[in-house]
Amino acid sequence: MQDADFPGSWRPDQGLSTPLFEQLRRHIADLVADGTLRAGRRLPPVRALAAELGLAPHTIARAYRELEEANVVATNGRAGTAVAARDVREQDLTTAAATFASAAASRGCTVEEAVRLVEQAFARL
């Protein structure tokens, strides 16, 4: 599979109540999660993507920053922003999952209850 032409035909929906940076963050995270954007794939520079999408540069920068905080992308100064290696993301999520599992188990939560809680959290996103 080749990396997608990002952003391709995708455009944020100005009519949604979801902030534009969050729409972009979710879109990129989804493309990474489903393998459309693979590890090492460089994302467009902030200003170039802002111009292409008709958004303010700070909107793009905020989405990239939040993706970097979640270890979905990595920014390397002048080298730009690229999709992070999967093992970094998995390690981060594995740690978070272990913390949650420990907290749930210590409170007498069953696996089924814990899964339900995670599903509810995803539904609120």
Q: pLDDT by residue for the chain (125 residues), tens digit each?
A: 345 678 889 999 999 999 999 999 999 999 998 889 999 999 999 999 999 999 999 999 999 999 999 989 999 888 899 999 877 777 778 888 889 999 999 999 999 999 999 999 888 87
Q: What is the pLDDT of residue 53?
A: 96
CATH of domain 20-84: 1.10.10.10
Of 69, 68, 46, 67, the C-alpha closest to 58 is: 46
Looking at the DSSP assignment, which residues form a beta bridge with residue 116? none
Q: Residue 28: enclosing H or E segment and its boundaries?
A: helix 20-33
Whole-model pTM: value is 0.71
Q: What is the pLDDT of residue 3?
A: 57
Place of tokens 């209850």: 113
Domain boundaries of the chain, sorted by first residue: 20-84, 87-124
Residue 67: phi and psi, rounded to 5, are -65, -35
Directed axis angle between helix 111-124 and helix 86-106, to 10°?
Answer: 120
